[in-house]
Structures are given as structure tokens and as C-alpha cells.
Homo-oligomer: A and B are copies of this chain.
Amino acid sequence: MSKTTRSEAAPLTADIGSETIPLKQACVIAAREVIAAEGCAALSLRDVARRLGVSHQAPYRHYPTRDDLLAEVLRQCFAEFAQALAARTPHENAQDELGSLGDAYLGYAAAHPVEYALMFTDPWPQAAHHPAMAQAAKIAFDELRSVLTRVYAQVPAPWQMAWVERDALCIWAAIHGLASISRLDATAALGLAPVSQLRAHVFGMIERSMANESVLNNNIPKQTDT
């Protein structure tokens, strides 16, 4: 039976490739490598320690539980995702900007399948116990909230913030569904067109469907997409 006392001599740095970096940061890099190679379910603090060549107790200094490490990985992913969304092509017309936000979203999902699946498929650690992670996720979601607020604000009719919230969740569901189906590559088997050909139609559906039609549909010039 091995003793599990925490050694005071545990290393504060680890080597990743030819670089020596602080252990706290190295753990996150190693965790992302484990997740990319073996999936989220395979992540353990012990495995991270083994990869870094440090004692299996060392990571516990910075991450008392596996969930703490996973939450930090997720926080980083959400921050990168929010940055990608914020880097969308700006448009004076808010509906056009909603389209470029959608493109930025789908572009990120296609370019970063591991991170996307981690954020939106695998179970999160409890958000209440990991406020930094939850806050980073909220910042990413706020990109959609802010564009939708602009969409409503450019309509000359009363509107409520509650509609923005409701639409944001529905639009997220639609775009998330599209991103997920794109990854599946099942459309050919189902006799359907490739998802990439449907981008314009989905965005058109979202535009036409938005919320309280007495506000938006009657005030924004209608477009046909055929």
C-alpha cells in the first residue's frame, strides 16, 4: 500500500515538448491532449500527471478534483470560442450581422471539432461550483444576445428583452443542430443535400421566424430565398 501524503517537493513546473512551463498551465495543455486523443471520459488527474512526468499527486495542488481541471479546460474553450464569435464580419444591418455571427459559429465548430464537442456534447461540471467556466460560457452566449438586441432595436415597434432571450435559445438550438448534423455526415445516407448547401435557407428561416411576427415580420423588408 503506497502512502498518499502530498509531497512538499512536488514540482511547480513541467516540460511540454522542449518548454518548461508552470505546472498549473501544463496540466490544462495535457488535459486537452488527453481529451483530443481519447475523449473526455478518459480524462483523469493521474493520466495528466503521467503525461507530464510528474508525481501523480502533483496536479492536485492546482486542481483538487478532475472536475476542477475539466472546468478550467472548458473555460479556456469558451474564451477561445467567444473570441472567434467576436471576430465575425461586422455589418451595419443587424440581420446581416446575425448571419455573420452564424457563419463564425459554424466556422468554429467545423475547425475545432474536439473543443466544440467538449463544450456542447459532453456533460459539464456543475456550473454552480465552477463560476469562471459558467461566466466564460455566458460571455460567448452574450455575443448572440447583443446581435439579437440590435435586430430588435432597429425595428420601430415596442419589444421586450424576454423575446431576445427566447429567440437566442431557439436560434442557438437551430445553429447547434446544423453544426452537429454537419459533423455527422449522414445527409447522403438520408438522401438529403449536403448541409453546407443549406446555410442560406436556414438563416432565411431564422430571419423569417424571428419571434413576435407582428413586430419583426411586418417591419423588416421580406426576402425570398429559393
Chain A interfacial positions (CB closer than 8 Å to B): 39, 41, 117, 120-121, 123-124, 127-128, 134, 137-138, 141, 165-170, 172-178, 180-181, 184-193, 195, 198, 201-202, 204-206, 208-214, 217, 222, 224, 226
Contacts and interface: CB of A to CB of B under 8 A. Distances in A.
B202 A173 contact: yes
B191 A138 contact: yes
A180 B180 contact: yes
A137 B192 contact: no
A195 B214 contact: no
A205 B213 CA distance: 9
Contact of A181 (B176, B191, B212): B176
| Consensus secondary structure, chain A interface | helix
Contact of A180 (B121, B167, B205, B213): B121
Contacts of A127: 186, 188-189
